[in-house]
Structure 1
């Protein structure tokens, strides 16, 4: 058996054992080992049994959580978890009119797994140290993508993230979230840990550059500007220094391929008065127009999962459809590249309203820190991390307008972290008020 396979088995099994003997959080460690190393996508994966490694880790972690008498499991104690469950119930109902029953059933199963992850993250992370551990494991996991890209690809970084984040744009969005979380950890004065965080942040930014994702680079720039309105108190000078250094690093890592891709968005064919939009941007505009037509036909209840993909031959001209391949059953089709339109087409106004209302109330939790007194280091830490998680969620919403990230798993991770951190801040503030 190869060394890579042996390392995977060792880390995976060790985490699951420690989930029962130590803390359930170690079960999440095994989950992330399976998520990032993802045996089915690696050459050494053929040496291992054909298991659903991530799902098995999640289920075993859930069992360990139930058997841990020291932890009180939070099921539906917050509004966000109830909205997630409501959305899942609605997509279950959509089975009765979904265009493709099996494609829609696959999404139902996936979202049920998302709800399980939401519960696991909220209950497995119980203190500051475990939250730091969560972020560091993911940052190190992302560097594995960079390693694979370094040894396996010579062009744009793609196909190294496993089935759930195979495209360059989705890899970039996932890594960008971990980049923001890791960057804000630097503001928490973790002393010796900063020597690990700084090189990790540099590597994560370089990985994003390797994906050449214009959408994510624009989103990161927007988040940097927005963050200026929410500079953590007591570390303003440190924040400005890190942001300035990050900006310098950002522009220094911009390679000629990335600049060329930006120039292709609008290039001049004959004169400055006749701009020519690049083929990729033009096709995405045409897809959105087609989606508007699809939505008008069934605005309330939607068509079910992958509605745009299935209906595209009826609404798009042949030139904007992808070439027939074995993967798409030798049919000319076109997938969605916009989160908002995907939700509207797939789930109608009912599903889209539930989903985006959930996103809105999660993002508005950023206001929790306004009334936070920040009287000790732990409370300050949670305030900074609430900023990091809400800004990361905003980044995904911005990036989602250029790439459909409806099934991007890190979105659920952020939902769980935001509710977990904001609940901690609120409960701590209540304690302070009662003490006074």
Structure 2
């Protein structure tokens, strides 16, 4: 067994032990690390036992959540409207197995969606403090930096393909994964200490270079729109800092991008027209029209990946790729994938998801004061990452992209942390009111029950005193109610 394989095993066992000894968040971080490293595709992975390492890491992290239970006051995950909608979509996909055009391909999605639901549950149970969310975002950033390093060290010319990890090896998917990590890193940069910022100044350019090497037009547009969203959601106290960071990011991107990258980006202006010798993404409009004809014939949806299966019957041969039995054309638009492959319920699910994203981010932005630090700085990054995914959906089929469910889980975590912060403030207010009632002061300010100052703590508190603020004449100072700092937490969207 190679030294790298041994090191991986030691780290896997060590972090697993840490998740049981300290907190389950370390198990979640281990899962993310294994997903990015993807030992099955590494040269050193052949020396490892033949196990599904990411599944094993997730299972162990779940077990750790029963040792270190999350806050009992947390909002129940499966009562959240968006989670109920996701479960309803999962049920519909299972029902579609009855008539799916290609059952084998469809069962891939049937098996994958429950995993994503459980993954959201794992994220929700593991992250119960802002510091845990910070670790989660850092794990994503380090994974994106690893992908950037992979592209840098293995690039041989042309478009870089072949990132490690399931469903992100292709250039567009890999680039979009990195884009989401860049925005999460930007949020960490805004709120971080100087050491974190110094590390991010090294990691962020590495990730941006990875995006450039893929020459992904969709990811370029996704990053541009995400940058706008990042600035839009910037809290007032961070706005100048974020604007400066955005200017630096644009200058850095322009400095890293080469002529080959800009030549490909310039093909966007052709809008899919057929231009000899130029890859303009031609045929997409015709493919979309063919997909609409498929929907008319299969309003209930024809099952996962049925666009590729039916494309030879609905599209001209010049629009297809591949040879023999594999000749066909996949969907290049996530919304049309939901419509064609999952019918009217599918597109309703996608529309509901977009509506929920708008509502929940609007709600969180309007209640920034109720978010414990440093969540107000993280919110723009999470919002920008999700916005980038939505833009990417326009050009590529990202129905199965796992990072979407990571971000949904992170959003639900932020909503829950806001809820817990308000509950803590109410508990503190009640404690202050209780302690204030124990002290009585006469109108002249002379205490009726002894001198002003600290009051004895509860029995068994080792004589610890609980001080209350005292005015100039010895009377107890009235505190403003803490509840007034916070707006209502009722969030019909979340």
* TM-score exceeds 0.5: yes
Separation of aligned partners in 1, 2:110 and 2:53: 19
Cα deviation, residue 280, structure 1: 4.6
**Alignment check: 8 A CA contact 1:118 1:416 kept:** yes
* Offset from partner CA, 1:369-420 (integer Å, 9 cap, x none): 4433637xx7242123222212211110101111111111000000000111
TM-score by length of 2: 0.80
Aligned to 2:307: 308
Cα deviation, residue 21, structure 1: 1.8
SS of equivalent to 1:98: coil
Unaligned runs of 5+ in 2: 427-480, 485-494
* Offset from partner CA, 1:133-168 (integer Å, 9 cap, x none): 111122112222223223333122211232321101
In the alignment, is residue 18 of structure 1 matched against residue 21 of structure 2? Answer: no
Unaligned runs of 5+ in 1: 269-273
> Hey, which bits of structure 1, 4+ residues long, moved more than 6 A?
none
**Alignment check: 8 A CA contact 1:160 1:166 kept:** yes
Question: Mapping of 1:273-292 within 5 angstroms?
Answer: 276=275, 278-292=278-292
The one of 349, 373, 397 equivalent to 1:404 is 397
Q: Pick closer, same or farther for the CA change 1:336–1:371 going to 2, 3 Å.
A: closer
Cα deviation, residue 425, structure 1: 2.2
Cα deviation, residue 427, structure 1: 4.5
* Offset from partner CA, 1:26-84 (integer Å, 9 cap, x none): 11122112101101222222222222211121122112212334654844132222122
* Offset from partner CA, 1:215-245 (integer Å, 9 cap, x none): 1111211222333433311122211111111
Cα deviation, residue 347, structure 1: 0.6
Cα deviation, residue 275, structure 1: 7.9
In the alignment, is residue 357 of structure 1 matched against residue 352 of structure 2? Answer: yes
Separation of aligned partners in 1, 2:337 and 2:222: 19
In the alignment, is residue 333 of structure 1 matched against residue 335 of structure 2? Answer: no
Q: Pick closer, same or farther for the CA change 1:98–1:45 going to 2, 3 Å.
A: same
TM-score by length of 1: 0.91
Aligned to 1:250: 253
With 243-252 and 154-163 compared, the bigger mean Cα shift is at: 154-163
Separation of aligned partners in 1, 2:13 and 2:329: 40
Separation of aligned partners in 1, 2:38 and 2:284: 30
Question: Mapping of 1:16-415 within 5 angstroms?
Answer: 16-69=16-69, 71-72=71-72, 74-155=76-157, 156-266=159-269, 276=275, 278-299=278-299, 301-324=300-323, 330-372=325-367, 374=369, 379-415=372-408
* Offset from partner CA, 1:316-366 (integer Å, 9 cap, x none): 1112211227xxxx4311111111111111111112212330232123212
Q: Pick closer, same or farther for the CA change 1:150–1:262 going to 2, 3 Å.
A: closer
Alpha-carbon RMSD across the aligned residues, in angstroms, is: 2.3
**Alignment check: 8 A CA contact 2:97 2:107 kept:** yes
* Offset from partner CA, 1:61-119 (integer Å, 9 cap, x none): 11221233465484413222212211111111111111111211111111111001100
Cα deviation, residue 312, structure 1: 1.0
**Alignment check: 8 A CA contact 1:11 1:33 kept:** no
